Structure 1
Amino acid sequence: MIDMQALLNLQAVMFLEMAAGFIVRKLNLVKGESKGILTALIVYVTLPCNIIKSFMIEMNAEILKQGLIMLVASVLVQVFLAVAASVCYNWLPKKRKMVFQYATIASNSGILGNIIAGAIYGDLGYLYSALYVIPQRIVMWSAGVSYFTEAPDRKTVIKKVMSHPCINAVWLGMIIMFLQIDFPDFLDTSIQSIGNMTSPLTMMFLGMSLAESGFSGLITKHTCLYSFIRFVIIPTVVMLGCFLVSMDPVAAGVAVVLAAMPAASMTAVVASQYDGDVTFAANVVVLSTILSILLLPVWVMIVSAVFMA
């Protein structure tokens, strides 16, 4: 049985975290420059720990065999999204184009996706969702960062991207996963504890940004266009692809549901780090997260009807 209550509870927690950031900034309990400190803390400390922890999964022959389908599917989805992000948004203003590109390749699969996949498919859902986000993490911290990075030549761009702490965390995490390195309990717990701060800090950052910009830019033609792409076009394309190749029902279901996640909350943080349009990025994330309350249950029902009938 699908635990819709678990999904709604998680979304409620995220909105309360965002509300906390909104209130402390609106009451001027923290200054605007505090967002820069928060950005640095997320990018250089909590998120790298979160990424490394996500790779600490037990691997054996059976898991590798089952997970290969999901990894291949996720790679194909990320290639499709990266190509689409590169060619479809050239008509947008430069700073908004960056946000559209990043938010297209990076969804909230790592947070919302895990619990939803687990609620629908049990332990296999948790495993598939953990594997699904690996290609996304690689792309969002390589190609994704390059969308915001200006440099005189490609070599300099690559150097800047490869020196980013989050892409370094991806490589380190992959080494840990493939070599099955077992950390002492105190170190494993410390990494997990610090990494768990990422979601609340990021949502508070969004709340602070919303307090500064107000609600006037929340519903615009561009934020609505992004939400249409995120919740209609992307999951529909993924579902059709899974259906046409007769993918395993569980793997297909997880892929479609994770494709229908809202924009990654890190979109606004990355925009802030690279002097992008933080206000627009925050509005994109907030609106898509709000809409996900209504639309994610719809996609869960569609997936159940198509792949679990």
Structure 2
Amino acid sequence: MNALMDFSGMFTTQGMMFLILMLGYLLSKSGMIPENGKKLLSDLTLNVTLPASIIKSFQTEFSAGIARSCAAIALVSLFIQVACTLFSGYLYPHMPHDRKRILQYSTVTSNAGILGSVVAQGIFGEMGLLYASIYLIPQRIFMWSVGMRYFTDGLDKKKILRQVALNPCIIAVGVGLVIMLFQVPLPAVLSAAVKNIASGNTLLAMLLVGNILAQVDLRTVPERDTLYYSFVRLVLVPGIVLLCCRLAGVESLVTNVAVVLSGMPGPATAAALAAKYGREEQFATKCVVLSTLLSLVTVPVWCLILA
């Protein structure tokens, strides 16, 4: 793509996302989105619109080049997950136990499943969303396996495998792979339904983020630990990914998608899990909020660097 088109698409996407985010913020503050609205928006996004977007992204012609790129993005993502898991134990040495656990979880995983897919599609098109869908497979596996270790003392391996296997986004990837590999045409009515459901993904995802922002006193969000985490999540991790991809000679679009997705803000699930297991829920929420706000600046900067 032309560099000017990249910049235009990037700023248009970021601006559109910010406006919808502010709409979600205002609707929550006004009470039009109730207190339990976050769960509804999250469930609809993760279980309905995002899986539809994933299936839609796989409706493309298949080639050896696409297969190689999908394998490359999967390997890059796996490398990122393993590296983040290994090094997260050394990034927060002096933090209190509960905060350290929250920060480790929020370093291993991110909000790439919601925001990342939207950004990848908006900036890199349908191929960007396709690669993002593949990228997210290792992250979702780590989220429900290694990630849960930070909040629970023991792990039920069968339960974890069931959660991963039955995750709607993982199922959507499997369905999408069948469609792409065997070039299965969907019936016109089903294809139209998938397309229209997928079109609501950005709206619901950004309303969700706005809803999260509305539930926190923004004046208390910036503090030393949240700022340090935001630096790790938004600058350090994608910077290392870019360096490693360039040194390894990874394809340009694969590199770009990997860098942008690895630079996504903290996961909303961190706050939910912190609340469920009695950790510092407010601190987890502040990490999500601050990194989300700062990502409105860092993501365009990374796109400018990658152009």
TM class by smaller structure: 0.7 to 0.9
Which residue does the alignment assign to 2:120?
113
Which residue does the alignment assign to 2:268?
268
Which of residues 185, 207, 227 in structure 2 aligns to 1:204?
Answer: 207
CA distance in 1, matches of 2:178, 2:135: 17
Which residue does the alignment assign to 1:137?
136
Pick closer, same or farther for the CA change 1:282–1:13 going to 2, 3 Å.
Answer: farther
CA distance in 2, matches of 1:55, 1:87: 38
Pick closer, same or farther for the CA change 1:204–1:133 going to 2, 3 Å.
Answer: same
Equivalences for residues 93-112 of structure 1 within 5 A: 93=98, 94-103=101-110, 108-112=115-119
**CA offset at residue 242 of structure 1?**
2.6
Per the normalisation by structure 2, the TM-score is: 0.77
**CA offset at residue 50 of structure 1?**
2.2
Read off the aligned partner of 1:242 and give its amino acid letter: C
Pick closer, same or farther for the CA change 1:162–1:246 going to 2, 3 Å.
Answer: closer
Identity %: 27
CA distance in 1, matches of 2:78, 2:234: 20
Pick closer, same or farther for the CA change 1:166–1:18 going to 2, 3 Å.
Answer: same
Which residue does the alignment assign to 2:260?
258
Which residue does the alignment assign to 1:168?
171
Is the aligned partner of 1:46 residue 2:49?
yes
Read off the aligned partner of 1:2 and give its amino acid letter: L
Consecutive unaligned residues in structure 1, runs of 5 or more = 119-125, 305-309
Pick closer, same or farther for the CA change 1:18–1:183 going to 2, 3 Å.
Answer: same
Pick closer, same or farther for the CA change 1:88–1:106 going to 2, 3 Å.
Answer: farther
Equivalences for residues 277-296 of structure 1 within 5 A: 280=283, 283-296=286-299
Which residue does the alignment assign to 1:245?
248
Is the aligned partner of 1:182 residue 2:189?
no
- Length, aligned pairs only: 293
Read off the aligned partner of 1:258 and give its amino acid letter: V
**CA offset at residue 81 of structure 1?**
3.6
CA distance in 2, matches of 1:271, 1:198: 22
Pick closer, same or farther for the CA change 1:270–1:294 going to 2, 3 Å.
Answer: closer
**CA offset at residue 183 of structure 1?**
0.6
Pick closer, same or farther for the CA change 1:131–1:22 going to 2, 3 Å.
Answer: closer
Consecutive unaligned residues in structure 2, runs of 5 or more = none
Read off the aligned partner of 2:110 and give its amino acid letter: A
Q: What do you get for the CA RMSD once the two structures are aligned?
A: 3.4
CA distance in 2, matches of 1:78, 1:97: 12
Read off the aligned partner of 1:225 and give its amino acid letter: Y
Matched residue SS, 1:57: coil
Which residue does the alignment assign to 1:121?
none
Pick closer, same or farther for the CA change 1:200–1:139 going to 2, 3 Å.
Answer: same
Which of residues 7, 28, 35 in structure 1 aligns to 2:10?
Answer: 7
Pick closer, same or farther for the CA change 1:29–1:62 going to 2, 3 Å.
Answer: closer
2:77–2:258: 8 Å Cα contact kept in structure 1? no
**CA offset at residue 296 of structure 1?**
3.5
**Deviations 1:116-173 (CA, angstroms, capped at 9, x unpaired):** 346xxxxxxx63x345323322123322133248565322322233233332223222
**CA offset at residue 17 of structure 1?**
1.4
